[in-house]
Amino acid sequence: MASQKDTFQQKFKIKGGDFIKAGESSCEIRNILKGIGIDAEIIRRVAIAAYEAEMNVVMYAQHGTIHFTVNPQEIGIIVEDRGQGIVDIERAMQPGYSTATEEMREMGFGAGMGLPNIKKNSDTFTITSKVGKGTKLEIVIKLNNTK
């Protein structure tokens, strides 16, 4: 386990329904990682996972936070939101399944690839959710292997 000193962390707040600012946090995360000199392929995976997770909060929750950490071994992204939660996680994890409204689909979202994409790009991925309360994603991307 890396010590506090070895870890850089930053918290981002996300507002549900704010499509104007959507994507800014994941963009900043990318820039931080570039500044540290992290490998491009890892940044690509982090970028996709963080962006999809951020969009999920914007689309389905009232508000949420991204807790981003990086230490010499791994990158951690914990996304917690207060919102409707997910009724059937197993179904939500299936590619193509989506509860997005017609409106969101017209905007190009809701292809049902969000969670599967996050999982695909993570080394470990856990999801917990309480209906009516909110959802928590824990994403870890290891730095020493290039998946």
Partner 1 sequence: MTTTSRYHSIKINKKKCIGCIHCMKGCPTRAIRIRNGKAVIQYQKCIDCGECLRLCPYDAVEPITTLQADLKRFAYKVAIPSPVLYSQFGTQTTPAEILHVLQHMGFDHVYDEARMCEMVSTAIEIYLDGHKTTRPIISSTCPVVVRLIQRLFPSLRKLIIPIEPPREMAAKNLRREISQRHKIAPEDIGIIHITPCAAKMVSINRPLSMKRSYLDGAISIHDIYNEIMMRIKKTNRSLLLDTERPVSGIGIGWTMSGGEIRGMKYHNTISVSGVLDTIRILEDVEAGKLKDIEYLECLICPEGCIGGPLTVENRFIAQSTINRLKRVYGEKKTVDVRTVHRLFKEKFFSFEHSIEPKPFPGLDADRAEAIKMLNMKENIMKKLPGKDCGACGAPDCATLAEDIALGVANLNDCVFCKGDRHDK
> Would you say 103 or 108 has its CB closer to partner 1?
108
Q: Residue 98 interacts with partner 1 (CB under 8 A)?
A: no
Q: Is 27 in the site for partner 1 (CB under 8 A)?
A: yes
Which member of 36, 87, 89, 131 binds partner 1 (CB under 8 A)? 36
User: Which own/partner pairs from 126-133 qualify as long-range (CB within 8 Å, at least 24 positions apart)?
Assistant: 127/86, 127/89, 127/93, 129/85, 129/86, 129/89, 130/85, 131/84, 131/85, 131/86, 131/87, 132/84, 132/85, 133/82, 133/85
- 6-25 residues in contact with partner 1 (CB under 8 A) are 6-8, 23
Q: Which of 37, 90, 96, 145 binds partner 1 (CB under 8 A)?
A: 37
H/E element holding 128?
strand 124-130
Cβ burial of 134 (10 Å; 0-12, 13-18, 19+) is buried
For the CB of residue 110, give the shortest distance to partner 1 in the complex, in Å.
15
Site string for partner 1, 51-80 (x = CB under 8 A): x------------------xxx--------
Query: Considering the rule CB under 8 A, would residue 99 count as an interface residue with partner 1?
Result: no
